[in-house]
Structure 1
């Protein structure tokens, strides 16, 4: 279930991190003369502009489970929503600059060699879109990943009238930037205690839901002075809540649904299943998306057992040609970074598969939205059966 992140991609990366100082200096000097590699998400295609706001949450009732010296559990979330058109606001960066700098330095990439670009979300823009309140979707990324890697799917859902909340699980994520420029990294250099991580993520998401309820009731959900977008409180329909996750985030979706009945429907993108939910199953809608490799039903006995115990609406989709990192923004970023990380074509295919990046992106824009449209809005037919528009997608009930 472990997400093989950019931090561990390519055998050449480990060697690069131990280059002699003179070689590293020469590489940095050469990089300064080269055109930066630029990543920019494709524009979302929904009918509404997208707004976003980042919030700092503090759970004072819970010491941090990964760093016991911290008396409180701190999280960063981003809220994405349909915005009012015609409002001039700056767009949010794909990853906060302090986090991006630290992340790229952990990869061994020289400063300025990679530009991670911006999102399409206008920071703090007033809420617009369809009449509210709107269904809410929570997003949990893979192990060692940042909430930034779910930006593409978050923007798409927001542009089609959902409120999406992406969550950084601090110290599980590779990097998390807090207000004031503080950046926290995984102190162990990589998370590998999945049982503990699932319990922590479950508690994180339940706390986020509690803070959204405070927001909906008119209170302030986070700390600091971040102004809330006009109309956000009235936009949240906490009676229609879904959850989506990639890899470990998919397993966390299932585990959190077992623990918290507030989540109406869940979807897992190449994630496994672990803990009590494997035997207990769920009585609410659940979508399993997998590949023929790492996270697939065929190679994961616990996922097959979990599937057999699903008692509500269920659907199993396999995306042929995809690999574990075909879901999320990795599918677009990794091909750009592969030459810099010394990844061979075979290494890259192991990560993102052979499916064209635009097809992976098309899947991510169509199928999660179709699932939440069906189960949070009661509309849509894409999930009824195989679609000629997506011949690479296999269906199983």
Structure 2
């Protein structure tokens, strides 16, 4: 099996993990003891503070689609998803901070995902993933909105990554006035913990190319369903019999005519694929996700391009996104840019960039995982460019950061012929 492709390497790692018996597809109820306190020797992790002017609220929602059988579990009549909604809040209040991961999901992430799927080579049991400090407050009141509502962003994680693995960037965007919805794609996500305590883990991939094609199709359907549910919730109607609602003040503030999508690795691929199929998504960002099949041929969205704005941001050094991205850019009729984050690695576009430096790793391991770029620089540079992109295309606020290289952010390079920007205006 070739290992030339970042997403495909991840798929190969997942396949190997299943072959070794290190991961099983489960949906089991967990005992109450699962919510145990961390071992006193575990490292307590924290995320960097968001850079926007608002505090951040967050709520987890259990969404059920009775019209769609689960595509990964034959015989399961309804598709069930867990999503988290992050949004701007005027004040944190006295509510608790949102957990980074729920206990059972955190235990599986530590025992299986972090090494077998993500390949980060971390000592098991060293990090307190469930206790990581976030800056989102559970069900905090939403910021008052007059006139035009808040633009909405959908975040799709990479293959083998939970929806929480992009929280740093997600919280930052929410602090800047966006409603950001993170989605776990059940049975393709490494672990999803539901409100009843049950834990669903990834299905065995089988044929890697077929698995990837199916996963991208399922992610498109999941995203459409989430957008439909958001429309119901924003109207104040509950989409289910349990009376599911948005937090105080958030219903009625979502502007679903201004929707963007972004993601890391296969989540970035999914952003492009979903945009091609779903006209409600007006702009998208791909963070180091490939646009080719296993054999290196372009996937349909690369061959056809897009007619709406799209941003590609890649890692430094030897990369395998080139053929698919080059084809995509040449066929895209809408605005497009390709950027490169100097000194970065594939995991630099996830919370690994913020959390791994806190674990005292061997320098060689740390460099292999998140590159040589200084972590704060990597994080703030990404936040600035992703926010500038969505501000430009969803808010009509152009700070011209995307026009060319900026002395304020020397780590971000514009890619194209002779080092010039690759763009369509």
Please give the range of the TM-score, normalised by the shorter of the 2 chains.
Answer: 0.7 to 0.9
1:338 CA drift (Å): 7.2
1:4-59 deviation per Cα after TM superposition (whole angstroms, max 9, x unaligned): 67x969xxxx99x8xxxxxxxxxxxxxx9873212110111211111011111111
The CA distance in 2 between the partners of 1:338 and 1:195, in whole Å, is: 38
Q: Does 1:209 align with 2:230?
A: no
Could you say if the C-alpha distance between residues 327 and 112 of structure 1 is closer, same or farther in structure 2, counting changes exceeding 3 Å?
A: closer
Alignment partner, residue 395 of structure 2 = 377
CA contact (8 A) 2:313 2:341 kept: yes
1:62-106 deviation per Cα after TM superposition (whole angstroms, max 9, x unaligned): 221122132211111101101132622111011122211222232
The CA distance in 1 between the partners of 2:174 and 2:144, in whole Å, is: 9
1:127-157 deviation per Cα after TM superposition (whole angstroms, max 9, x unaligned): 1165351101110010010110111111111
CA contact (8 A) 1:293 1:324 kept: no
SS at match of 1:200: helix
Match of 1:252 among 267, 270, 294: 270
The CA distance in 1 between the partners of 2:178 and 2:249, in whole Å, is: 14
Could you say if the C-alpha distance between residues 388 and 81 of structure 1 is closer, same or farther in structure 2, counting changes exceeding 3 Å?
A: same
Instruction: Name the TM-score, length of structure 2 as normaliser.
Output: 0.81
Alignment partner, residue 305 of structure 1 = 327
The CA distance in 1 between the partners of 2:139 and 2:227, in whole Å, is: 20
- Please list, as runs of the form range in 1=range in 2, the aligned pairs for 1:166-177 lying within 5 A after superposition: 166-177=182-193
Match of 2:141 among 126, 130, 134: 126
Q: Which moved more, 1:286-295 or 1:63-72?
A: 286-295
SS at match of 2:167: helix
Instruction: Name the TM-score, length of structure 1 as normaliser.
Output: 0.86
Could you say if the C-alpha distance between residues 86 and 113 of structure 1 is closer, same or farther in structure 2, counting changes exceeding 3 Å?
A: closer
Alignment partner, residue 196 of structure 2 = 180
Alignment partner, residue 114 of structure 1 = 128
CA contact (8 A) 1:75 1:170 kept: yes
The CA distance in 1 between the partners of 2:280 and 2:125, in whole Å, is: 44
Alignment partner, residue 236 of structure 1 = 254
Could you say if the C-alpha distance between residues 120 and 261 of structure 1 is closer, same or farther in structure 2, counting changes exceeding 3 Å?
A: same
Unpaired runs of 5+ residues, structure 2, are 1-5, 23-37, 116-122, 293-298, 415-420
SS at match of 2:284: strand
Could you say if the C-alpha distance between residues 127 and 345 of structure 1 is closer, same or farther in structure 2, counting changes exceeding 3 Å?
A: same
CA contact (8 A) 1:271 1:295 kept: no
Match of 1:322 among 344, 358, 363: 344
CA contact (8 A) 2:405 2:412 kept: yes
Match of 1:290 among 314, 321, 334: 314
The CA distance in 1 between the partners of 2:317 and 2:377, in whole Å, is: 18
Match of 2:75 among 69, 79, 92: 69
CA contact (8 A) 1:58 1:223 kept: no
Unpaired runs of 5+ residues, structure 1, are 18-31
Alignment partner, residue 7 of structure 2 = 2
1:3 CA drift (Å): 7.5
Q: Does 1:137 align with 2:144?
A: no
Could you say if the C-alpha distance between residues 162 and 223 of structure 1 is closer, same or farther in structure 2, counting changes exceeding 3 Å?
A: farther
1:222 CA drift (Å): 5.4
1:224 CA drift (Å): 4.0
The CA distance in 2 between the partners of 1:357 and 1:376, in whole Å, is: 28
CA contact (8 A) 1:81 1:162 kept: yes
Could you say if the C-alpha distance between residues 4 and 225 of structure 1 is closer, same or farther in structure 2, counting changes exceeding 3 Å?
A: farther
Alignment partner, residue 21 of structure 1 = none
Q: Which moved more, 1:33-42 or 1:116-125?
A: 33-42
Match of 1:35 among 41, 64, 71: 41
CA contact (8 A) 1:56 1:222 kept: no
Across the aligned residues of Structure 1 and Structure 2, the Cα RMSD in angstroms comes to 2.8
1:337 CA drift (Å): 4.9
1:117 CA drift (Å): 1.3
SS at match of 1:209: helix
CA contact (8 A) 1:36 1:113 kept: yes
The CA distance in 2 between the partners of 1:150 and 1:183, in whole Å, is: 20
